[in-house]
Structure 1
Amino acid sequence: MEVEFPDDFRCPISLEVMTDPVILSSGHTFDRASIQRWLDSGNRTCPVTKLPLPPSPSLIPNHALRSLISHFTPNLSSKSPPCSSSSSSSSFPRELVSSLSFPSDPDSLAAVLRLVKRSAAFRRLVADSGATAVLLRHAAARVCPDLQELSLRAILHLTLDGDDARVALVAEGAVDAAAAALNSGCAAAALAATTLTSLATVEVNKCTIGAHPTAIAGLAALLREGGGRERREAATALYELCKFPENRRRTVAAGAVPALVEFAGAGSERAVQVLGLVAKCQEGRQEIRKLDGFVRVLTAVLRVGSSRGVEHALLALNLLCSDNKDMALQAIKEGALELCLPLLGHENGKIGKNAVTLARTLQKMQLGCSV
């Protein structure tokens, strides 16, 4: 009797069941041989989306899908390449991974965490075996906080293995797990935000995380309701995500701007950095202008902030004052013009340039009001 394979098991190019599925930078999965032929023929677009690819596209093993295909068709498992790492030759790591299941126990997950911390070979073993799926299920489950925290810590270490590992984790469902954990207790929520930051350092992941229905909303909620550590981690995740333009609008829509302004007023320069990015979109500027005291917060950063904080405060003030008279007058009242003058020749070129632009804007506004 012929086996009926799910469509997801078939390569979009060859339409055959994949034996070595790999993820292209577009986020779509293909059989390695098929996509390699496509690239070797000189094509530099994704066969599915038709969007351009980078000059040397990475082909990232889709371990989760390979494991599913292997379990669905046992005869394909024999094609899996053996693990060549000498450090994984010990039987204990393999036995640990093979016995890992959901629900697990604290001792097993603690052992996994110890090994992923210190062994790149074990991290590859976890990915190759499909054990990541067990960690992700625990990371999303709030019923046992200890297991959730252990799993999140292990996943965070898996993200540190480079961009290929980060893209593969997102393909396996890491964003779903982290987004669910944002609504958990303090320790788990902070770890989830840190995990999203690490995943978002890859450009394609910024888009995927931003498009998730609850990820940015969860970070905004954590920024409003969390403690000091949770707010810092949420702001850092939003900073990384808002480097992708569409995520700035999503951050505004999630209601994060008031919390960012409040956090910036409490001394968080990371929040100032996020606001500098958010102010680049029209929706962000409109939302910021609704809030009392925002200009006062930014001018305070100009007085006492670090170089990085000053750079982003100047950026935000430029964006807000360049086309809005009320904002410019508020900035003049708060002393922003006087604060710009010592920064005009700053060794940091961005600070000097933004200080010159802001000073000119405010001087023009000042002269216009005095006429």
Structure 2
Amino acid sequence: MEFQEAITRLALQTKPLEKQRWKIITFRRSTSSSINAYSKPQKKSTSTSIKPQDAPREFLCPISGALMNDPVIVSSGHTFERACVQACNTLGFTPTLEDGAGSPDFSTVIPNLALKSAILNWCKKHSLNPPKPLDFFTAERLVRSKLEKTQQVNRVSYHEDRAAEKDLINRVKENPPAKLNFAVSDLTPGTAHHFSTSSDESLTLAMPTPPLQLATRPSCYSSASSSSEIEALLVNPEEEEFLTKLKSALVHEVEEGLVSLRRITRTKEDTRAQLCTPRLLSTLQSLILSRYTSVQVNSVACIVNLSLEKANKVKIVRSGTVPLLIDVLKGGFSEAREHACGAIFSLALDDHNKTAIGVLGALPPLLHLLRAESERTRHDSALALYHLSLVQINKSKLVRLGSVPLLLGLVKSGQMPGRVLLVLSNLASCEEGRAALLDSGAVECLVGLLRGDELQCVSTRDSCVSVLYGLSHGGLRFRGLAKATGVVEVLLEVENSGSERSKEKAKRMLEMMKERIDAEEDVDWEELLESGSMGTTRSSLGCKKVESGANSSEF
């Protein structure tokens, strides 16, 4: 009996212990599960913390260091952002790639569609927004900063090399090689017996050591360097003198340097090519938008003088000077605007610059300055527009800017008819320009000028005939307008008394109109109207391309 009571007490004492032990076990299990539950979202958070900079290296542009929105392959096989390639071409900069990837060649550009698709898929996989397009001006700032760093490194390395070279030469002068005389005598005939010996050791001892300045050469004179690289490292003392003055903190010293630079670039043609360097152009760019009248005027005048050298025209455009000149055209001082028009006109003479100048936005301010107070500004603006309108893309832009009514108004008022008619002649050579001229009453205006005595200059009359000849390709619409103004009588007079060039064009226009009149006489218009085949016959007469209503509505 006592034994059973003892067992019962032991059982009652062990029950709370078991409950407490189970509590401990459940507590440990809950903590382990909570740790696992906490660790899972932590992994998710690390996976979503990927940034665009963590992308594969081939997805990043070597110049901007960002994900490429519009990757392109250049001639050398490298891939860059398109805007960076355009900025490098504009500034004439060739970047140095890392890991010995070679020097890129930007002569041709091909879109890299496969890489663009891979970049978009990578962004979508990691829940990132696709890369935004890189505008040209941001890319230009990036390239310009890299260009300045490269120039600074080159200047530092050049001065270090020059210092090392001078130090070596001084040491050679103080301590010449011991056997220098033997080396010199070895070059003269009859002294070979000094080195005749059967022992290799004695021959080695007898051979003179080369002078130190010949044995150790600075890196800038290494055989691997090309002549162009050596010339780029050489400093022009005259250029250094100008740079010192132009970078001075005193305004009067800057003015003196600009006046001196303007004088020397105007009188000495051989110095224009020597002084048109990236360093000097960059310094002049910082002065073009100066608030001081003399600084702005003389800096733009220096650009004009430098642009007179044919080899400098592309350099100036690629250096990024044109946007600053356009700013002067829009809001600079009067004399500075005059020089800026001359600079744009001079740069536009090179065919490689015409498209770039138009794309950068020079056309609207040049059109505005056709009504400037300064006669020189008006004339240079008209000549610049003439050379820029030789390119098709600039013709279309001028038409969209509404230049045709403005130019015709200048011709009617007798302001620069010769120069303005040259621009109109270029516009009349494209379909958009012809439609705009016909809409603006150009035929009546030109025929009136040829019939009157306003165009006394032979070249101006030739330009007027050239515009009319360009409009004659406008089909039936031109013929109708020309007949209403009595163009046949005027063309016959030009054919009899005009210059050789005008006679040929007048003869062609008369033949063209006669052929169309004969073709119309052979057609029974009433029968065509009844049969409803008007459109087919008009096409057979060569009028398929002419849709006067469409031209008028589109313009």
Asked if TM exceeds 0.5, the reply is: yes
Counterpart for residue 358 of structure 2: 210
Counterparts of 1:27 and 1:286 in 2: how far apart (Å)? 38
Deviations 1:259-314 (A, max 9, x none): 21122221521100100101122221222223246532454157635443333322
Cα shift at 1:93: 5.7
Counterparts of 2:451 and 2:483 in 1: how far apart (Å)? 13
Q: Do residues 152 (structure 1) and 300 (structure 2) align?
A: yes
1:46 to 107, 125, 129: 107
- Residues 312 and 242 of structure 1: CA distance in aligned 2, closer, same or farther (over 3 Å): same
Counterpart for residue 177 of structure 1: 324
Counterpart for residue 240 of structure 1: 387
Using the TM superposition, name which of 274-283 and 306-315 deviates more. Answer: 306-315
Provide the secondary structure at the position in 2 that maps to 1:46: coil
Counterpart for residue 69 of structure 1: 150
Show structure 1 runs of 5+ residues with no match: 1-5, 16-22, 40-44, 51-62
Counterpart for residue 261 of structure 1: 408
- Residues 29 and 107 of structure 1: CA distance in aligned 2, closer, same or farther (over 3 Å): closer
- Residues 124 and 322 of structure 1: CA distance in aligned 2, closer, same or farther (over 3 Å): closer
Counterpart for residue 7 of structure 1: 63
Letter in 1 for 2:262: L
Q: TM-score, normalised by structure 1?
A: 0.73
**1:1-371 equivalence runs, <5 A:** 7=63, 13=76, 29-30=93-94, 46-48=107-109, 68-72=149-153, 74-77=155-158, 79=220, 81=230, 94-101=240-247, 105-128=254-277, 130-141=279-290, 143-162=291-310, 164-183=311-330, 184-212=332-360, 214-224=361-371, 227-265=374-412, 266=414, 267-292=416-441, 295-297=444-446, 299-301=448-450, 304-344=455-495, 350-363=501-514
Deviations 1:158-199 (A, max 9, x none): 01111x311010011121122111113432222212211111
- Residues 355 and 148 of structure 1: CA distance in aligned 2, closer, same or farther (over 3 Å): same
Counterparts of 2:315 and 2:389 in 1: how far apart (Å)? 22
Counterparts of 2:77 and 2:92 in 1: how far apart (Å)? 14
Provide the secondary structure at the position in 2 that maps to 1:130: helix
Letter in 2 for 1:70: Q
Cα shift at 1:331: 3.2
Counterparts of 2:88 and 2:511 in 1: how far apart (Å)? 47
Counterpart for residue 42 of structure 1: none
Counterparts of 1:77 and 1:14 in 2: how far apart (Å)? 31
Deviations 1:217-248 (A, max 9, x none): 11112124554332222111010001111110
Counterparts of 2:75 and 2:494 in 1: how far apart (Å)? 56
- Residues 321 and 311 of structure 1: CA distance in aligned 2, closer, same or farther (over 3 Å): same
Identity percentage of aligned residues: 18
Counterparts of 1:315 and 1:347 in 2: how far apart (Å)? 12
- Residues 161 and 14 of structure 1: CA distance in aligned 2, closer, same or farther (over 3 Å): farther
Q: 8 Å contact 2:155–2:233 — kept in the other structure?
A: no
- Residues 25 and 248 of structure 1: CA distance in aligned 2, closer, same or farther (over 3 Å): same
Show structure 2 runs of 5+ residues with no match: 1-61, 65-73, 79-86, 97-102, 112-143, 160-219, 221-228, 526-555
Cα shift at 1:347: 8.5
Q: 8 Å contact 1:149–1:188 — kept in the other structure?
A: yes
Counterparts of 2:75 and 2:516 in 1: how far apart (Å)? 59
Counterparts of 1:148 and 1:97 in 2: how far apart (Å)? 16
Deviations 1:48-70 (A, max 9, x none): 469xxxxxxxxxxxx99866512
Counterparts of 1:102 and 1:222 in 2: how far apart (Å)? 34
- Residues 302 and 351 of structure 1: CA distance in aligned 2, closer, same or farther (over 3 Å): farther
- Residues 172 and 341 of structure 1: CA distance in aligned 2, closer, same or farther (over 3 Å): same
The structure, 1 or 2, with the larger RCO (C-alpha pairs under 8 Å, 6+ apart) is: 1
- Residues 277 and 120 of structure 1: CA distance in aligned 2, closer, same or farther (over 3 Å): same
- Residues 202 and 147 of structure 1: CA distance in aligned 2, closer, same or farther (over 3 Å): same
- Residues 219 and 65 of structure 1: CA distance in aligned 2, closer, same or farther (over 3 Å): farther
Cα shift at 1:113: 0.7
Using the TM superposition, name which of 258-267 and 234-243 deviates more. Answer: 258-267
- Residues 93 and 76 of structure 1: CA distance in aligned 2, closer, same or farther (over 3 Å): closer
Which structure dedicates a bigger proportion of its chain to helix?
Answer: 2
Provide the secondary structure at the position in 1 that maps to 2:422: helix
Cα shift at 1:148: 1.5
Q: 8 Å contact 1:301–1:313 — kept in the other structure?
A: yes
The number of aligned residues is: 334
Cα shift at 1:145: 2.8
Counterparts of 2:489 and 2:391 in 1: how far apart (Å)? 33
Letter in 2 for 1:157: N
Give the alignment's Cα RMSD to 1 decimal.
4.2
Counterparts of 2:151 and 2:284 in 1: how far apart (Å)? 20
Q: 8 Å contact 2:496–2:503 — kept in the other structure?
A: yes
Cα shift at 1:107: 2.1
Q: 8 Å contact 2:90–2:317 — kept in the other structure?
A: no
Q: 8 Å contact 2:363–2:385 — kept in the other structure?
A: yes
- Residues 92 and 28 of structure 1: CA distance in aligned 2, closer, same or farther (over 3 Å): closer
Q: 8 Å contact 2:370–2:377 — kept in the other structure?
A: yes
Cα shift at 1:154: 0.7
Q: Which has the larger radius of gyration?
A: 2
